[in-house]
Amino acid sequence: MILFYYLVFPGFLATFILGGIASWIERKLTARIQARVGPPFLQPFYDIRKLFIKEVTIPENSVRSIFMASPIISFASVSIVATIVGLNLVNPNYSFNGDLIVCVYLLLIPSLCLILGSGAAGNPLSSIGASREMKLVLSYELAFWTCLAVPMIKTNEIRLISLMEFQAQNGAIASSLSGIIAFIITIICMQAKLGKVPFDIPEAETELAGGAYIEYSGPLLGFFKITQYMMLVILPVFLLQIFWGPINSWVSILKYLVLLVVIILLENTNPRLKIKQAVKTLWFGLFPVAVVSIILAVLGL
């Protein structure tokens, strides 16, 4: 019963509310950058309410079970991550050894669900979106996992609370040379995991009319949107715990806002990459630098 309570708060409920607020900040700042007014404060929540009162349309040629299950599984996986990350902040007694690895695996599931769901839709445009998402995942996950090895090497820990305790005593991992290199690369990979410009290639509204999401509507699309809201909170907080901890004061909120502003600036100052450009950048640009960060971590730098 206690774990179910934590699954709701600080799991789904707190993360969804904070994610909606973060999404509003993102949209509002984007509008200001583009000399527009932007949406009202509750607009992200209005959007979710609108989707959940609409009818679900299932494509005729789709694989119905996979098409319908994908957004729900995506939402469930992020809710579990929210619970694990939140427990490390409000009740560390429930943390467990290896929760860092579990979180990384669960954070991969939304992308896999998007690939499966859009691939099962039976629409050529959604299939292109699924293909692009698959290539993107294979590209950014390599650099992302490589960079996550840096804090593990420096602390000999795979437990989130232990990483934060280490940083409370020895300073942030991002304050070291290997740590700051790995942190910067994970921020770029985070942009890809969130599907933000310049890595919004699978969605590409101007090219694919929504791409991977084109056949989704109603509550099913709502689950994907909620997942996006929650990821906008969980992923930055997860990286803060690993690289820029500990997360235990009002300063942590400022740190999160800094990452959110970085996400927004990257989104509004870069053009969308082609999929081959993204793969080349992630495989042959970021991954070798990530390997260098591991070597520096082994050397104690």
pLDDT digits (tens, 9 = 90+) for 165-203: 999 899 899 999 999 999 999 999 999 999 998 999 888
Residue 57 has pLDDT above 90, yes or no: no
> If DSSP codes are grouped into helix, strand and coil, which group holds residue 39?
coil
Helix, coil or strand: residue 214: coil
Please write the tens of the pLDDT for every residue from 100-114. Answer: 999 999 999 999 999
For 273-291, what is the mean pLDDT? 94
pTM: 0.93
Domain range enclosing 115? 2-298
Number of structural domains (the chain) is: 1
Contact 129, 274 (CB under 8 A): no
Q: How many CB atoms lie within 10 A of CB 111?
A: 21
- Least confident window among 49-63, 132-146, 190-204, 205-219: 205-219
Of 96, 86, 59, 29, give the one whose Cα is nearest residue 247: 86
Side chain identity at residue 250, one-letter code: W
Report how far residue 85's alpha carbon sits from residue 70's, in angstroms, rounded to the nearest whole number.
Answer: 23
